[in-house]
A and B are shown apart, each in its own frame.
Chain A
Amino acid sequence: MEQFDVVIVGGGSAGLAALKHLSSKGIQSVLMEAGSTVGTKNVSGGILYSKNPQTGKVYNVDEIFENFLQEKPWERQITKYILNCVSKDKVLSIDLTDSHEYQSNFGCSVLLNKLNSWFAKQSLEVAERNGGGIVNGVHVRNISWDEEKGKTIIQTDELDDFEAKAIIASDGVNSEVAEITGARKKFSPPELYQGVKVVVKLPEEIIEERFDLSPGEGTAHIFAGDVTLGHIGGGFLYTNIDSLSAGVVYHYDSLISNPMGPNNLVNALLNNPFVKEYIKDEVALEPYPDKSLSKMEQLRIKFAVNKLIKRWEKLRFEYYSHEGKKRFLDDKEFNSIEDVKSKMDAIHKELLEKYNTRFETDYVELEYSTKLIPDGKRCRMKKPYIKNILFIGDAAGRGLFIGPRIEGLNVGIDDAVRASNAIKQALEKNNLDVASNYLGELYSQSVQESPYTMDMERIDKYYIKTIIDTAGKQIPSQKIGKYRLLFRLFQNDKLRNISIDIVNKIGYNNMLSLIESEETYIHTPINIAAKLGTKTISEYSLSIPELSQRISNLSYNDDPQSHIKIINPRSEFMKKMVTLCPTKCYSLEGEDVVLQHEGCIECGTCSPETEWRHPRGEKGIQYKYG
Chain B
Amino acid sequence: MSLNIAVIIKLEPDFSDGNVSYNPDGTLNRAETKTILGHHSAIASQAAFYAKVKYGARICIGTMGPPMADLALEQSLLLSDAEELHLYSDRSFAGADTLSTAEVLKTGISKMNDGKAMDIVFSGFRASDGETGQTGPQTAWKLGFTFLGNVISYEIDIEKRVITALRLISYGNNSLIEQVQAPLPVFIAIDPSYKSPFITVSQRLSASRYQKEAMIRSRNYKSLLKIFNAKELGVDPKLVGLPGSPTIVYKVEKIPKIKSNRSAQTVENIDPNNISNILEKIHETIA
Q: Which residues of A contact B (CB under 8 A)?
A: 2, 4, 30, 124, 128, 131-136, 138, 158-160, 162
Contact = CB atoms under 8 A, between A and B. Distances in A.
B265 interface: no
B50 to A, nearest CB: 15
A456 B202 CA distance: 40
25 contacts: A2-B200, A2-B201, A2-B202, A4-B201, A30-B201, A30-B205, A124-B208, A124-B212, A128-B209, A131-B205, A132-B205, A133-B208, A133-B209, A135-B201, A135-B204, A135-B205, A135-B208, A136-B208, A138-B204, A158-B199, A159-B199, A159-B200, A159-B201, A160-B201, A162-B201
Given A30-B205, A135-B205, 12 more contacts: A2-B201, A2-B202, A4-B201, A124-B208, A128-B205, A128-B209, A131-B205, A134-B208, A135-B204, A158-B199, A160-B199, A160-B201
A133 to B, nearest CB: 4
A135 B198 CA distance: 11
Interface in B192-246: 199-202, 204-205, 208-209, 212
Contacts of A131: 205
A303 to B, nearest CB: 9
Contacts of B200: 2, 159-160, 162
A133 B198 CA distance: 15
Contacts of A133: 205, 208-209
A30 B212 CA distance: 17
Nearest to A127: B205
Contacts of B209: 128, 133
Interface in B92-145: none
A459 B245 CA distance: 85
A159 B202 CA distance: 10
Contacts, number: 32
Closest 7 interchain pairs by CB? A133-B205, A135-B204, A160-B200, A162-B201, A160-B199, A159-B199, A2-B201
B22 to A, nearest CB: 14
Contacts of A4: 201
A91 B45 CA distance: 60
A30 B202 CA distance: 10
Interface of B: 199-202, 204-205, 208-209, 212
Contacts of B202: 2
A618 to B, nearest CB: 11
A566 B74 CA distance: 49
B43 to A, nearest CB: 18
A162 B201 CA distance: 8
A138 B209 CA distance: 17
B39 to A, nearest CB: 18
A614 to B, nearest CB: 18
A159 B200 CA distance: 5
A377 B77 CA distance: 52
Nearest to A135: B204
B204 A159 contact: yes
A131 B209 CA distance: 10
Q: Give the most central of B201, B202, B208: most A CB within 10 Å.
A: B201
B9 to A, nearest CB: 25
Contacts of B199: 158-160
A486 to B, nearest CB: 56
Nearest to A3: B201
Contacts of A124: 208, 212
A212 to B, nearest CB: 41
Nearest to B203: A159
Nearest to B18: A303
A134 B201 CA distance: 9
Contacts of A160: 199-201
Nearest to A133: B205
A159 B199 CA distance: 4
B211 to A, nearest CB: 11
A135 B211 CA distance: 13
A482 B205 CA distance: 60
A171 B212 CA distance: 26
A510 B247 CA distance: 87
Q: Give the most central of A131, A138, A159, A162: most B CB within 10 Å.
A: A159
Contacts of A128: 205, 209
Nearest to A121: B212
Contacts of A135: 201, 204-205, 208
Contacts of A162: 200-201
A2 B204 CA distance: 12
A567 B212 CA distance: 44
B207 to A, nearest CB: 9
A68 B201 CA distance: 29
Contacts of B205: 30, 128, 131-133, 135
A590 B260 CA distance: 43
A164 to B, nearest CB: 10
A124 B205 CA distance: 10
Nearest to A30: B201
A287 B37 CA distance: 37
A2 B208 CA distance: 18
Q: Give the most central of A128, A131, A133: most B CB within 10 Å.
A: A133
B197 to A, nearest CB: 10
Nearest to B198: A159
A132 B206 CA distance: 10
B63 to A, nearest CB: 29
Nearest to A131: B205
Nearest to A1: B200
Nearest to B208: A133
B218 to A, nearest CB: 17
Nearest to B202: A2
A131 B206 CA distance: 9
Q: Give the most central of A124, A128, A134, A135: most B CB within 10 Å.
A: A135
A580 to B, nearest CB: 32
Contacts of B212: 124
A555 to B, nearest CB: 16
A134 to B, nearest CB: 7
Contacts of A138: 204
A143 to B, nearest CB: 14
B271 to A, nearest CB: 21
Nearest to A125: B212
B198 to A, nearest CB: 8
A160 to B, nearest CB: 5
A2 B199 CA distance: 12
A318 B208 CA distance: 34
A4 B204 CA distance: 14
A314 to B, nearest CB: 16
Contacts of A132: 205
A549 to B, nearest CB: 20
A554 B275 CA distance: 38
Contacts of A159: 199-201, 204
A489 to B, nearest CB: 58
Contacts of A134: 208
A158 B198 CA distance: 9
A135 B199 CA distance: 11
A417 to B, nearest CB: 24
Contacts of B208: 124, 133-136
Contacts of A30: 201, 205
B32 to A, nearest CB: 14
A6 B278 CA distance: 64
A28 B124 CA distance: 38
A609 B201 CA distance: 33
